[in-house]
Amino acid sequence: MGTTTPPRTLAEALRARGDESLARLLRARPDLLSPVPNDITQLATRAGTRASVVRALEHLDRFALQTAEALAVAPDPAPYGTLLSLLTGDGQDDGDHRDDAGAAITAALPAALANLREQALVWGEDERLRLVRTARELLAPSPQHPSPTGLGPTVAEATAGMSPGRLQEILTAAGLPATHDPVSAVTALAGLFTDRTRMAALLDTAPVEALSVLDRLVWGPPYGEVTPNPTPPVKWLRDRGLLLPVSTRTVVLPREAALHLRAGRAHRVPEPVAPTVEAAAERDPEAVDRAAAGQAFTALSTIEELLKLWNGGGPAILRAGGLSVRELKRAAAAMDVSEQVAAFWVELAYAAGLLAADGETDERYAATPAYDDWLELPVQDRWVRLATAWLAATRTPGLVGGQDAKGRALSALGPELDRSAAPEVRHRVLALLAGLPPGTAPDPAGLLARLRWERPLRTGARGGPATPAGSSAGTPSRAAGTGYSAPPAAAATAPGDTSDLRSRLALWTLNEAELLGVTGRGALSSQARALLAQGPGEAAARLAPLVPEPLDHVLLQADLTAVAPGPLKRPLAEMLSVLADIESKGGATVYRFTPGSVRRALDAGQAATDLHAFLAAHSRTPVPQPLSYLIDDVARRHGHLRIGSASAYVRCDDEAVLNEILADKRSAALRLRRLAPTVLAAQTDPASLLEGLREMGFAPAAESAEGDVLITRAGARRTPPRSAPTPVPEGPPVPDDTLLGAAVRAIRAGDTAATVVRKDGAEAASAGSLPRTTAAETLATVQAAAMTGSAVWIGYVNAEGSASQRVIAPVRVEGGFVTAFDHTADEVRTYPLHRITGVAELADDTGA
C-alpha cells in the first residue's frame, strides 16, 4: 500500500493488507466471518477476542506456536533479532549440533512469522513485532496458566508489591548500588540478570547446591515450595533475588534469570521442522494392492453378512438411542470379529446409508432401500461407496464401549459418537501415508508425532477453559531434602502419549483403513491413492482388476463338503447357503451338507431332482455317491407327514352324508375340505360350523378334545381367581416415634420463627408474611450473624417456588451462598443468597 508510516494498531495493520491477504486471513479463521464484520476495526476487534484467538492458536503448528510463545515472553514490541535469539539461544552455551538447529530455526522462522501475521496474531514490521494482546495474555506465563516455555514472571511482575526494604536487601546482597526508588531497583536487578558477564560472575560465587536447585527450576515449572526455614543454598538464592517469593511457601525463578541459565532460549527443544514419517516396512506395492483388495472384498462380504443377519428384523433401538451391548455382541459373534470391529462395521453401514432406523413405533434397525441398490453394483463401486462414506464420516466407532463425560456408556449407532475432528484427522493421516512412496507402511509412532507437531495441544488448553486456576501443573509439589519441588513432566503431551482425541482418531484411522482395505499390510493402496487424488471413478477402475472373478463352480467331496475355491456368483452362493451349512469362510468357502441343510432346501421349494441337477451343473467333480444318496434319502421322507391348520372338523362314519354336505351349495361358506373319506376339515369355528350344519338340516353334535360328545348346558360365568379386597383403614397410618420427634421439632422451630420478637421490621413481617429486605441488607445482616454466631430469621423461596420461613444460624457466607445451621430442619444447610427474600435478627432472648 505504499505507506511509510508503521501501523500503530492491529486495525491499521489489517487495513494496510491487500484484499488477497485479508481473504487468506478469513479462510484461515472463518469464525471471524460470522457475522460479517462491518469494517476493519470491527474485524480487528473480533480477531482479538479470546474465543477467536484460542481457536486460531489451536490451529497453529508446533513451530508457529513456539514462535508465538517466544513472542509472549519477549518485550512488547520485540525486534526480529530478539525473537530469533529467543528461539536459537544467544550462542553462549554449546557446540555444533546447536548450530544445525539454529540454522534450521533461522530458515523456518520467516515462514512461521508470516503464518502468524497472516492469521492476524502478530502485526507490526520486523523491528516492532507485536503479538495480539489476547494471545499474549493466553501465552504469557502466569501462575494460573503455566507457559509451555516453563518460564516464570519477570522480575518486575514478581516483585510487584514487595516492600522497598526487602528490595534494598536484595540489591545489597546482589552487590548492586542501593537506590530508594523501587522502579529503578527493579530495573537494576533485571539489568543484572540480563547482563551475561555480571550474571555469570554472580553465579560463580553461588554454592554448588544452589546451582542444582536452579537446575531443577530452569526448564520449568519455575515454582518451588519452600519451608519457613529454607536450607542455606535456597536462602542464598532468595537473598539475591534469584528466587522471588510468590506466597509464604512458594518462590519463583524470575524470567530473566531463567533465560540466562537457558542461554537465552525460550524453549528447551525448538522444533522448527516437522518430524518426518518414517517407514516401518517397505513392501511390494503390488502385494499391498492385492492385500488391500482382498481386505476390501472381505469388507463387502462382512457388511452383507451383517445386514443379512438383520434381514428378518434387526435389533431394537435402545431408548437412549443405539445398539445394546448384547446385540453388538451377537452381531460380533455372527461376523466372527471382536466387538470393537463389529462396531466399526455397523457404523460404516450406517454412515454409508445402508442401515437405518425403521421409524416404526417399536423402532428397529434395518437395511435401507439404498442397500438393495448397493448390492446390485459391481464390487469395486460398492467398495468405493463404503470408502467415500468412511472418509467423510464424523462417526467414530472407536469410542464405542467407552464412556462419555457423564459416565454413560457409548453404544454403537448411539448419539454422542460424532467427533467433528474425525474427517480432518482421517484425511491428514491418509495424506501423510500418500506422501510416502508406494508400498511403504509407516511407523505409527512417527505418524502420531507428526500429527502432534502439526496441531499441538496447548498446555492448559487440554482441560478446556473450565480448568480451575492453579490446578495440577501450576501447583508445586513438595520434594523432600531441599524443600523444592521437582519439576513434573514438563510437556502435557509426552511423545508416547496417545490419550488425546486426535492421536486416538489417528490410530483408529490406521486400524479402520486396514479393515476397509484402504491400506494393505499397513501401506496405502493405489486404489485408495486414486480415491484421494482423482476421485471415485479412478479408484473403482484401479480396484476392478484386483477383485477376484466370481466363480460358477464348486468342488464336491465325499465327506459331504463342497469347497468354493473363491468368491461365488451370487445366485450360486445363495442357493448353496440354503442347501448346505457354511463351515469356514475366507478366500474360499467350505460348505457342509447335512440332512438338516438338505431339508431346508426342500422346504424352500426345491425338488430332489432340482438339487441333483444343480449340483451336477455346478460341480467340477463328479457328484459323490453319498451326497446323492443323502439328498434322495432326505427327499424320500420330506413331506411324508403333512401339517395344516383347521378351525373345526366334521367326522361321520357314513361317507354318503359327507358327500351330501360337500355337494350342498350352502356349505361353501363353511370352507370345508375333505381330508379322508370320513373326515372334513373346516376353516370356520366349531360354533358357526354347528350352526351352519343345523341350518342345512343336519343334527350335528359337538365333540370334546378327547372325542366325547359335548353336552351343552348354560354354564354360570366366573371370573378368573381373585383375592378378596384388603380393608382400607380410616385416616393415615399411626406415626412412629422418630417421625413424631421430628414433627415436634419442626413445629417448635416454626413456632419460634413465627413468634420471636424481632429487632426490627417485625411489624412488616407480621401475620406469617415473609420478611423483605434489600439484597445488600440481607448480605450484611447474614454476614454479621455469621461473625457473632447468632441466629436470624429468614424468608426463603425454594427451587420449586414455594416460600417458607426459617430460623438459621449462619456459619459461613461465600460465593453467594450462606451455610448455616437450620433450626427448623435441625441440620446444616446451604442457601443461595438470591433465594432469601429477607432477613430479620432475632431478639436476643429467643436466639436458639
Q: By CB under 8 A, name the binding residues for other proteins.
A: 287, 290-295, 298, 336, 514, 520-522, 548, 555, 557-561, 563, 565-566, 584-588, 590, 621, 624-626, 629, 633, 637
Smallest separation, CB 704 to other proteins (Å): 27
What's the CA gap between 102 and 273, in Å, rounded?
11
Pick between residue 423 and residue 566 the one whose CB is nearest to other proteins: 566
Pick between residue 42 and residue 628 the one whose CB is nearest to other proteins: 628
Pick between residue 401 and residue 626 the one whose CB is nearest to other proteins: 626
Smallest separation, CB 471 to other proteins (Å): 34
Pick between residue 225 and residue 514 the one whose CB is nearest to other proteins: 514
On whether the CB atoms of residues 367 and 346 are closer than 8 A, the answer is: no
What's the CA gap between 802 and 606, in Å, rounded?
76
DSSP 512-526: HHHHHTSEETTEE-H
Smallest separation, CB 351 to other proteins (Å): 22
Pick between residue 259 and residue 590 the one whose CB is nearest to other proteins: 590
Smallest separation, CB 284 to other proteins (Å): 10
Q: What's the chain's Rg over C-alpha atoms? A: 42
Q: Say what the alpha-carbon torsion angle 791, 792, 798, 802 is, to the nearest 10 degrees.
A: 120
Pick between residue 321 and residue 595 the one whose CB is nearest to other proteins: 595
What's the CA gap between 180 and 175, in Å, rounded?
15
Closest CA to 340 of 359, 354, 325: 325
Q: CA separation (Å) from 616 to 172, 549, 624, 626, 701? A: 108, 21, 10, 14, 57
On whether the CB atoms of residues 615 and 602 are closer than 8 A, the answer is: no
Pick between residue 583 and residue 826 the one whose CB is nearest to other proteins: 583
Smallest separation, CB 438 to other proteins (Å): 16
Pick between residue 284 and residue 603 the one whose CB is nearest to other proteins: 284
Pick between residue 242 and residue 543 the one whose CB is nearest to other proteins: 543
Residue 795 backbone dihedrals phi, psi, to 5 degrees: -105, 140
DSSP 676-689: ETTEEEESS-HHHH
Pick between residue 576 and residue 782 the one whose CB is nearest to other proteins: 576
Dihedral sign computed on CA atoms, order 164, 169, 174, 177: positive
Pick between residue 182 and residue 626 the one whose CB is nearest to other proteins: 626
Pick between residue 559 and residue 655 the one whose CB is nearest to other proteins: 559
Q: CA separation (Å) from 285 to 293, 520, 543, 826? A: 12, 9, 14, 79
On whether the CB atoms of residues 344 and 391 are closer than 8 A, the answer is: no
Pick between residue 445 and residue 646 the one whose CB is nearest to other proteins: 445
Smallest separation, CB 301 to other proteins (Å): 10
Smallest separation, CB 521 to other proteins (Å): 5
Pick between residue 397 and residue 522 the one whose CB is nearest to other proteins: 522
Dihedral sign computed on CA atoms, order 582, 584, 589, 591: negative
- Alpha helices (H) along 604-724: 608-618, 625-637, 655-663, 686-695
Smallest separation, CB 597 to other proteins (Å): 13
Pick between residue 540 and residue 562 the one whose CB is nearest to other proteins: 562
What's the CA gap between 614 and 610, in Å, rounded?
6
Instruction: Classify the phi-psi angles of 589: left when phi > 0, otherwise alpha if psi is within -120 to 50, otherwise beta.
Output: beta
Smallest separation, CB 712 to other proteins (Å): 39
Smallest separation, CB 600 to other proteins (Å): 18
What one-letter code names the amino acid at 482? Answer: T
β-strand 561-564 against 555-557: which pairing, if any? antiparallel
What's the CA gap between 510 and 430, in Å, rounded?
9
Smallest separation, CB 298 to other proteins (Å): 7
Smallest separation, CB 589 to other proteins (Å): 9
Task: Please calculate the CA angle 245-248-254 and round it to the nearest 5 degrees.
Answer: 15
Smallest separation, CB 539 to other proteins (Å): 18
Residue 564 CA neighbour count, 13 Å, CB half: 31
Smallest separation, CB 336 to other proteins (Å): 7
Omega before residue 221 within 30° of 0, cis: yes
- What is the enclosing helix (H) or strand (E) of 578? helix 570-579
Tell me the three cell numbers of residue 620: 467340477
Tell me the three cell numbers of residue 423: 474427517
Residue 67 CA neighbour count, 13 Å, CB half: 27
Smallest separation, CB 584 to other proteins (Å): 5
What's the CA gap between 469 and 488, in Å, rounded?
17
